[in-house]
Amino acid sequence: MTTEPIAAPINAWHVAQQQFDLAAERLGMDQGMRRVLREPRRELTVHFPVTMDDGSVQVFTGYRVQHNLGRGPAKGGLRYHQDVSLDEVKALAMWMTWKCAVVGIPYGGGKGGVIVDPKKLSMKELEGLTRRFATEIEVLIGPERDIPAPDVNTNAQVMAWIMDTYSMHQGYTVPGVVTGKPISLGGSEGRYEATARGCVYTIVEAARHLGLDLKTARVAIQGFGNAGSIAARLISEEGSTVVAVSDSTGGIHNPGGLDVARVIGWKKEHGTVQGFPGAMDISNAQILEVDCDILIPAALENQITERNAGKVRARLIAEAANGPTTPDADLILARNGVFMIPDILCNAGGVTVSYFEWVQDLNRDHWSEAVVNEKLRGIMVKAFGETLEIAKREDCDMRTAAYLLAVDRVANAMAMRGLYP
Ligand code: NAD
């Protein structure tokens, strides 16, 4: 089995600020506004105790960051991962601000995380950690203030514990404090698949623009969790062939195509995609260089860098993950004619259906999955079209275009509100 180091020593926050600076410069943004938008509005660090199953007390560190609240309450996921850092959370919060603006939903950007490898915790320890972390960040969260959601290694069960903890403290049930909840607690139909579904809607649009036939397209996917495994299933339903997938332990490759349902079953049984019968084991570095038409990074940040961007053979990259490509790599990919659907557009389906969930919760309503998916499609197609229009008009790549759209919307909202006091 091949195991690759997963995180390159690149600071995601510096990448996020660099991306913002490029957009601000191109927009000719006022220097004061640049100073405001370059920094997060609030950063909370908490160190909190959890009683472990063996009776010992361990202290964990977690963060909640609100980057900007100009267009609405903060919105963004919670990540449980051993490599979480304040800088990573700041970057993810800033990207959430732009993402919500690209798809035009009334939120600002937030994000949170805990430094922990949840695979090493029992369910009881995970629940204890989640409930105490939720209590610690309660000074910031709330349905009108800041609404967390799932991200890497968090899921509907974690959201249910947060919702319950918050509700206990309020003395009444508050479904709207988190999204990505189980359906039985006010979760939305379609939320579980939303990130991948939104990603595939943008791939369909990009393929039409590029004249790429999805029925004959070969797809490689890095990351096989919520975003990656569901994207694999949905892109297969479009007729494409998934030739390679990977998770944190490494990847598998079969140029003739992988049976996605069987790979999902294999991972469930063995805890890894590797060893899948009929496929070759490859590394997480190799998966990015596999011969394919569409590459979907769906794992972590900083995977496509100046070191490997020149080796990407895909014609289209759809960033289901947040921040998988560095600015240096973007230049190389653009030079090589690779069409990029940037993260703040490509994976915005997750936050869009989170918004639908929140609206349903606040209105005590419940929509059908068909209604959710159709509304999602409308928003993703519109955002893709608006971004492509800017890319053509400004003669720039799609990431720059998405940033021009988003940063301008946020700056306008901020300017209209004015500077308090
Ligand atoms: P997840 O925990 O469900 O899955 C993460 C997957 O990535 C796992 O299969 C894990 O094994 C794999 N992984 C970790 N490191 C890897 C590496 N170096 N190479 C290959 N695989 C690796 O998380 P998720 O929710 O699917 O999130 C994945 C990405 O999508 C993240 O960047 C996240 O921020 C982004 N995202 C998620 C959502 C959402 O709604 N879940 C929304 C928008 C963006």
- Sorted by sequence, the CB contacts under 8 Å of residue 273 that are 6+ apart come out as 224, 245, 246, 247, 249, 250, 251, 252, 263, 266, 267
Q: Could you give the number of structural domains in the chain?
A: 2
Q: Is 113 in the pocket of ligand 1 (CB under 6 A)?
A: no
* 179 and 199 share one domain: no
CATH code for position 338: 3.40.50.720
Q: Are 385 and 205 in contact (CB under 8 A)?
A: yes
Q: Which of the pair, 9 or 65, is modelled with greater confidence?
A: 65
* 281 and 329 share one domain: yes
How large is the average pLDDT for residues 257-278? 98
* 108 and 130 share one domain: yes
The range of the structural domain enclosing residue 119 comes to 39-183
Nearest CA owner, ligand 1 atom 35: 321
- Residue identified by tokens 């809607």 is 201
Mutate which of 83, 152, 221 for ligand 1? The one with the most ligand atoms within 8 Å of its CB, which is 152
In a domain? residue 284: yes
What is the band of 10 on the pLDDT scale with cuts at 50, 70, 90?
very high
In a domain? residue 264: yes
The DSSP call for residue 304 is: B
Q: Report the C-alpha gap between 110 and 41 in whole angstroms.
A: 10
Q: Report the C-alpha gap between 288 and 294 in whole angstroms.
A: 10
How large is the average pLDDT for residues 287-297? 98
How large is the average pLDDT for residues 379-408? 98
pLDDT at 219: 98
pLDDT at 356: 98
Cβ-based burial of 278 (10 A; exposed 0-12, middle 13-18, buried ≥19): exposed
Q: Give 302 Cα–ligand 1 centroid separation in angstroms.
A: 13
Q: Is the pLDDT of residue 1 over 90?
A: no
* 206 and 120 share one domain: no
How large is the average pLDDT for residues 76-104? 98
Q: Residue 108 in 3-state DSSP?
A: strand
How large is the average pLDDT for residues 393-411? 98
Q: Is the pLDDT of residue 5 over 50?
A: no
Single out the residue in 346, 369, 392 at which a domain terminates.
346
In a domain? residue 337: yes
In a domain? residue 372: no
Integer-rounded Cα Rg, in Å, for the chain is: 20
* 331 and 204 share one domain: yes
* 106 and 80 share one domain: yes
* 150 and 206 share one domain: no
pLDDT tens-digit map of 138-156? 999 999 999 999 999 999 9
pLDDT tens-digit map of 196-246? 999 999 999 999 999 999 999 999 999 999 999 999 999 999 999 999 999
Chain mean pLDDT for the chain: 97
Single out the residue in 126, 153, 183 at which a domain terminates.
183
In a domain? residue 421: no
In a domain? residue 13: no
What is the band of 36 on the pLDDT scale with cuts at 50, 70, 90?
very high
Q: Report the C-alpha gap between 200 and 232 in whole angstroms.
A: 9
Which atom of ligand 1 is nearest to 79's Cα?
34
Q: Is 222 in the pocket of ligand 1 (CB under 6 A)?
A: yes
Q: Give 31 Cα–ligand 1 centroid separation in angstroms.
A: 35
pLDDT at 191: 97
When mean pLDDT is compared across 1-10, 252-261, 310-319, the lowest value belongs to 1-10
Q: Report the C-alpha gap between 11 and 78 in whole angstroms.
A: 19
Q: Is 6 in the pocket of ligand 1 (CB under 6 A)?
A: yes
What is the band of 165 on the pLDDT scale with cuts at 50, 70, 90?
very high
* 207 and 338 share one domain: yes
Helix (H) or strand (E) holding 77: strand 74-81
Q: Is 350 in the pocket of ligand 1 (CB under 6 A)?
A: yes
pTM for this predicted structure: 0.96
Which atom of ligand 1 is nearest to 324's Cα?
32
* 157 and 224 share one domain: no
Helix (H) or strand (E) holding 386: helix 369-394
pLDDT at 3: 47
Q: Report the C-alpha gap between 226 and 223 in whole angstroms.
A: 9
* HSE-up of residue 320 (Cα within 13 Å, Cβ side): 33
* 201 and 167 share one domain: no
Q: Is the pLDDT of residue 6 over 90?
A: no
How large is the average pLDDT for residues 317-343? 97
Residue type, 258: L
* 341 and 198 share one domain: yes
Nearest CA owner, ligand 1 atom 17: 248
Catalytic annotation, residues: 111
* 47 and 163 share one domain: yes
pLDDT at 8: 47
CATH code for position 175: 3.40.50.10860
Q: Are 241 and 235 in contact (CB under 8 A)?
A: no
Single out the residue in 306, 324, 346 at which a domain terminates.
346
Separation in Å, CA 196 to CA 32, 224, 290, 320, 321:
37, 11, 21, 7, 10
In a domain? residue 237: yes
In a domain? residue 366: no
How large is the average pLDDT for residues 248-267? 98
- Residue identified by tokens 């989170």 is 354
Q: Is the pLDDT of residue 7 over 60?
A: no
pLDDT at 9: 72
Residue ranges in 28-155 assigned as alpha helix (H): 31-37, 86-102, 123-136
Peptide bond into 421 cis (omega under 30): yes
Q: Give 406 Cα–ligand 1 centroid separation in angstroms.
A: 24
